[in-house]
Amino acid sequence: MSWLVLTLLVVPFVSAVATLGFGHRAEGAGRGIAVGGSLLTLGLATAVAVPHLGAAAPLTHVYAETAATLPPFQLAVLVDPLSAVLLLLAGTVAALVQVYSLGYLRGDSRYPSYAALVSIFTGAMCTVVVADDLWVLLVGWELMGACSYFLISHHWELAEARAGAVKAFLMTRTADLGLLFAILLLGERFGSYRISTILEAVAGQALQRDELWLPAVLVAVSVMGKSAQFPFHTWLPDAMPGPTPISALIHAATMVAAGVFLVARLYPLFVSAPAALTLLALTAAATMFLAALYALVTDDLKRVLAWSTVSQLAYMFGALALGAWSAGVMHLLSHGAFKALLFLAAGSVMHAVGSTSMDRMGGLRTKLPDTFATMTIGFAALAGVVPFVGFFSKDAVIAGAYEGAVHGRLVWPWVAWVLVGSMVLTAVLTVAYSLRAWLLTFFGPEQEHADELDLHEAPPSMRVPLWLLVVPTTIGGFVVLNPAAVLGPEHVEQMFHVGESILMTALVAVTSLVVLALWRSRGRELWPRVVVPHPPVDRLYDAALVRPVRWLARLVVAADRDVVDGYADGAGGTARGVGGLLRLAQNGNVQSYLMVVVVGAAAVAVVAGAVTT
């Protein structure tokens, strides 16, 4: 089995090289290699994952080790149920994104580099998921960040694409310093960088509890950046100028999902450090509500979905912070299914309309029937409508958080109750912004420019992935209700709570009725428009970081130009002047030389005479 894992890690990178090598020569060959490589990766991921779901013993293997450092670096892998389910999620979404991109990027001259980056992105996520050495994990972690930068800026001719890519890169790289320092601290403390070794030591030595808060907090900061949690939350919506399939990949299966995975993977470390869990809980409570508010007033369809991702990831972190590990992981899986569906469906809408603004949409349900049906299912899952997968996973998260607040001891009680209250309020807002986006996109009168557009359904390569994602979105609740079947027998938990489910369903129904009533009375202006040019934290970053750094940069440039260059230029000018004077005395004219000798001799005679008298 170990050779199969290694093959899984190698294939995406080989596929990327082959796509670049042949894609620019023959378009068909590049597309075939990209899709074939993604399907092969999915097949290998399935072969690796399925035997390790449920009660199977985890696989650990060391392929190579370096003795040049202490502790040593090891090319080691760990495949357990958590790795298995994430491999299936990443492999499935990546393969569907590659197929979807055949239609979405048809005729794009940059397709080979795009498809190659998607393959590298997939390989990087697989590396993070199966890594059993923290340095190997860091390599995959940073490689995902680099791929996201290049993919977000795919349309580099657009200023907003370049700005969004730079912002995502800088904010996530800054937060990633936390992971780097945490790795150094953990290696020094435990004498190993092996994740399995560290977790075993943490679980077996209670005396270390007071010593692990710093690395745990550093990891928490890193995952907050990667998963766009407050105060790093603003980079994800600004990454929307990238191709929509990439948004689906980043939001559903890689990049932002990696943060939740890392907390779940290192969960014993966090349990041993209540300060880190408290930080996650407070961050989640603020982020989920704030992001939902932004989604409520945003008029760009992709940015609505982006803010929704930020909010839903906060649900997962909140569940993990209060001890509902299984519910958090199950919501990560269900969110991957319905959020990939929503982004790809949004791509189909934009493919027809040519814009992401919901002001240019309306009345599309008859023009785009497949997109309407599939996106309706995606929005229903996001809003928590029964019986879609989002209903079961979100209710499991809220119920688990409530149990953690009542009986848990992981965080302070008031923090837990603040988090639970934020979850309930955010669930109401989620219904409101989901229903608003659905109504503005598909209902109401057609916009004035609609007659100028040739509105038609997307090609089969774009529609088939939508219908395939409908399957887990619709019936995935059966998996959520039985986490032990995929996560192992130690996760036998009650995921369905009748009272809590009835309460949440009632909130969904009441909120839906209120929004529909506003739609009927006010039309597209459901509530007063709120101009939100930039989140306040962006203005804070601009005032506290961007402007001071820009001022210091200008000061350094001025000092270099006017001081350092002034000294250098002055020295050069002086040398040139002295050289010019000396050159006058060496002009090759004998008469000039004789004149100098005569004048000099006369001057010496005069001076000598003056001295003697």
Q: Clarify whether residues 587 and 525 are in a common domain.
A: no
Q: Clarify whether residues 259 and 363 are in a common domain.
A: no
Q: Clarify whether residues 171 and 52 are in a common domain.
A: yes
Q: Clarify whether residues 101 and 146 are in a common domain.
A: yes
Give the up-direction half-sphere exposure of residue 84: CA atoms within 13 A in the CB hemisphere: 21
- Give the burial string for 184-204 (b: 16+ CB within 10 Å, else e): ebbbebbebbbbebbbebbee
Q: What's this model's pTM, rounded to 2 decimal places?
A: 0.88
Question: Which residues, including other chains, have CB under 8 Å from residue 187's CB and lie 6 or more apart?
Answer: 71, 134, 193
Q: Clarify whether residues 246 and 302 are in a common domain.
A: no
Q: Clarify whether residues 416 and 545 are in a common domain.
A: no
CA distances from 597 to 9, 590, 592, 593, 604 (A): 86, 11, 9, 6, 10
- Torsion sign across C-alpha atoms 292, 415, 394, 321: positive
- Torsion sign across C-alpha atoms 333, 339, 345, 351: negative
Q: Clarify whether residues 415 and 386 are in a common domain.
A: yes
Count the Cβ atoms, other than its own, within 10 Å of residue 354: 12
Beta bridge partners of 194: 133
Question: Which residues, including other chains, have CB under 8 Å from residue 420's CB and lie 6 or more apart?
Answer: 398, 401, 402, 405
Structural contact between residues 437 and 357, judged by C-beta atoms closer than 8 angstroms: no
Q: Clarify whether residues 302 and 349 are in a common domain.
A: yes
Last residue of a domain, one of 532, 563, 582: 532
Q: How many domains does the chain have?
A: 3
Range of the domain at 350: 273-532
From the first residue on, what is the mean pLDDT of each consecutive set of 10 residues in the chain (613 residues)?
A: 89 93 79 93 94 84 82 90 93 94 87 93 94 94 93 89 90 92 93 92 66 91 93 88 88 84 94 92 95 91 94 95 93 94 93 86 88 95 94 93 86 92 96 95 74 76 94 91 86 83 93 93 76 61 74 79 75 79 69 75 80 69
Structural contact between residues 99 and 143, judged by C-beta atoms closer than 8 angstroms: no
Q: Clarify whether residues 266 and 284 are in a common domain.
A: no
Q: Is 366 helix (H, G, I), strand (E, B) or coil?
A: coil
Q: Clarify whether residues 17 and 166 are in a common domain.
A: yes
Q: How far is CA 6 from the centre of its chain?
A: 25
- Between CA 317 and CA 175 the distance in angstroms is 17
- Between CA 137 and CA 145 the distance in angstroms is 13
Residues listed for the chain: 613
Last residue of a domain, one of 489, 508, 532: 532
Q: How far is CA 234 from the centre of its chain?
A: 11
- Between CA 148 and CA 125 the distance in angstroms is 12
Q: Clarify whether residues 603 and 477 are in a common domain.
A: no
Last residue of a domain, one of 246, 271, 296: 271
Q: Clarify whether residues 108 and 248 are in a common domain.
A: yes
